Structure 1
C-alpha cells in the first residue's frame, strides 16, 4: 500500500511534471529553432516557467541525477548542457571563417567574422589562465591554427601568415616593399626582418619560419639604405627586360603564372609572375617613367 501510494503521489507526479516541461520545451524549440531558453521565460499556455525548468535540468545533469533516456530526449531537442561551451562553439565557427580568409587566428582586436567580434574573443583567450579547465577548447583552436597563440607578437604572425600564403608556390619570398595583403605591407615586412639588427632579435622559431620561405638576413654590404635602393632599381630593369623578352616570345603579357621564371640571355633568372605582382602592388610608389615602361609593354593597369 505504501509503495503504491508513493508511486501514485510522488513518482507518477514527478514524471507528469517532467513530461509537461519537455512538452513546453518542444513547443519552444519548434517555434524558436533552438533550446536556449532564458531563465525568466514562461511558455504559454499557462504560462509555464520553462526557463527555470531548463535550468533545473542542467543542474540535475551536472549532478549526475538525470537518467540516460531523459538526457537523450532533451538532446534531441537541442538541449545545451553548458552555455559556455555553446558560446565557445559559436565563436569558434566565426574564428574558422576568419582563418579561411586570413590564414591566421592572430586577428586584430577589431576583427569581425560572421557578425562576431572574433578578434577580441581570441585576444581574451590568450590571457593567462583563460583556458584553464578547458583543454578541449585549446585543442580546437590549435586544430584550426597551431600558431593561434604565438610566443611572439600577434602582428608579426599576421604579416608572416599573409606572406606565407602569398608565396605558397614559390621557392622563396621574393617580395618587394609596397606589396600588400589585406592592407599589410608584406614586402616591407620581409625587408625589415632581413636587417641584421632585427634578424638577431627574432626568436629561433621565427627565424625558422622565415628561412622555410627562403628569407635570410641581408649580407653586410646590403644593409645600407642606399645600396638597397640601388639593388631595387636593378631589379626593376631586370624585370622590364624579362617582360619584354616574354612578350617577344609569346606575343602577349598575360596572364603570367605567379610561378613562371624567365631566364635572361646572361643567365639571370627573373620570377616574372612575382615581379609583375610586386609592381602592381606598389603602383602608387612607382615613378611616372617606370609606369610608362610597364604600360608600353602592355600592362594596362600601369596606364590607368
Structure 2
C-alpha cells in the first residue's frame, strides 16, 4: 500500500479543498515520497523545480496556519521538518551526503566554504555534547570523520615516513608544499611546548630533526652530520664536554656557532623528563 493510501483520503477532505487541487496535491506528495525514499529526507531545494517550489509552499502555508491537518499529518509521516533550523541543517547534510556519494569521502576542512564551516560546527557540537543522537547517527551513516585533526596528522606522518624512506632524512623543505609546512609546524609546536608527548616520541623515534639550521651549519663547517642514536647519558656527557671546551678560550664565530648548535641539537634529542632534570640541576648549581 502506498504512503498516500494509508492516509485515509476521504470524500469530505476532497470536497473541502476541491477535487482538482486534491489530485495535484496527492501527485506532488507521491513525488515527495519517491524523493524521500531516494535521499532519506524531504529537503528539496527550490532549484529542484516544481517539487522544490511545492515543498516551500507547504512550509509557508503551515506557518500561516492554512495547511489542512490531514496534509500536515501526511508530510510529518515522512519526517517533514517545519523548523527553519532543521531545514537548514538537512540542506547542508544533503550537500555533504551528495559529496560523499560522488567523491567517496565526506572529509572537509573548515576552510572549505560554507559547507566546510558547517562540518566543523558539527564536530564542535559533538565535543560539547550538544549534537542530537539522531543527527550524529545520520552523519555516521555517510562516514563522517569526527576527529579530523587526528586523521590529518596521521596522514602527514605517513607522508613523512615515505619521504624518509626515499631521502634518508626528515628535513623536508618548507617549499615542499603541505608536508614541508606540516614538518615546520611540528618544530614550532615543540619549541612552544605544545606538541603532545606521544607525537614527540613518534617523531623522535624516526629520527626527526628538531634543529635543521644546526644541521645545515655543521654541514657547511665540516661536511658531516651527527646521528640521533645517542643515549641520554652520552648526550649529557657531550653537553658537559662542549660547555667546558667553550670556557677554555674565547671562541671564534665559527666555534661559537658550532658549540651552540651542538648544545641545541643534543638538548632536542633528550626525552622531556631528562631535559627537565638537567635544567633543574643546573639551576641548583647556580
Query: Scaled by the length of structure 1, what TM-score is found?
Result: 0.39
Structure ID, larger Rg: 2
Instruction: Indicate the structure with greater helix content.
Output: 2
Q: Structure 2-normalised TM-score?
A: 0.41
